[in-house]
Structure 1
Amino acid sequence: MSVSVEDPESRNLARLIALSDGIFAIAMTLLVLDIHVTSGLNPAEFRSMLHDLLPHIGAYALSFTILAAFWRDHRRMLQIARRVEGPALRLTLAGLGAIALLPFPTTLLSEYGSQPLAVALYAGTVALIDLLQLAVIQVIRRERRAEGAGRHETTATSSGDLDIVTDLLVTAAVFGATVPIAFASPKAALWTWLVLVPLKFALGHRARAHPRGKGG
């Protein structure tokens, strides 16, 4: 996306992208703060602490992967927008607020992964971020249609929209479904999240094999 320094809307969009990148970077960095080893341990204590850190490392890897996917979709959404203001801006800021919050449920998950409420809060936070991003892209699509975009431009951009929407819907469905599952079995909820791996792989493969808007 080319940004003209003389276009106020482009400058505002560039500022929002910079703000978003900063919030994502800070949230990703905060995830690692729970991973540390106390000094002065004897060999047995050192091995025990490393073992105790495994849930923290697992939660860190999970949340970093999720945030990376959210960042990718967030960037793609902002890059296809002509401007982000009004409802789209408010929803975007709400989504960034939820992104900044994710390190907290990540800590709960690493410390209390066997507790239903901790797992449900984590799944609910991820689902909330998904729903907010879905709302943002739907507002962007509606505003773009209202502006009367040309047919070719609408076709080209809507193909990218659909990929983002599908990706977000899949993640929201999986994590949203595991909120009630967590209260029945936290372990079952954790294992259910692994369903996303083959689903995301299949979606990515389909998008590469049948690119929309390019005669595919």
Structure 2
Amino acid sequence: MPTPQTSNVNSRSLLRDDVYLSLRDAIIDGTFLPGERLRDQELESWLGVSRTPIREALLRLARAGLVSAKPGRATIVAPANPKIVGDAQQIAASMHELATRLAGPAVTPDALGAMEAANLDFASALVAGDIDLALRSDDAFHAVLTGLSGNTMIADVLEQATPLIRRAERQRFASSAGRESVEQHRAIVERLRAGDVDGAAALSRDNWMTLHQHVDHADG
């Protein structure tokens, strides 16, 4: 797919993280397809920034397994590898289980309300077929617990694992199978409301492991 000709990003405020997120999201949503070559000059024109933050972002994406970048050779979007996606899924499931256990004692009615609101947005997005909104709403739901966990390393680990999962998960949320997550989210909230932190943690892990039936068919 051609590099976008216009940018919605304000170049004056574009920081290294913004460049990384813009490129990451373009890979996840299929703007850049597996095997597509990423050319510095075209990316500079699209994002309106110099080569330095782009190269730094591409190195981060390479570490995350989303691009293949070797010195002196072309940088290309990496194909989705079912084994790597499965490994990332196991890590993400474990991190969300841990986040739920740590956050459980700190969960407030307001936090549960935020999770319920995010889940309503998630359900509505699935019905409307708005996959981008579904993914953002799913992120918002889980971010409540990772934020309350008090362990900043959880977010760091998830930053590495989650993008690999999201490419495959777009397929899941585009299908009827994605509706399972709505009920799983509701169950997590109810367990937390009842004070059953262990039960909620187990459900959080299960929620992230339900991608397994799609991982084998992930093709980006």
Say whether the fold is shared (TM-score over 0.5).
no
TM value normalised by structure 1: 0.32
* Structure possessing the higher relative contact order (Cα contacts under 8 Å, 6 or more residues apart): 2
Q: Normalized per residue, which structure has more helix?
A: 1
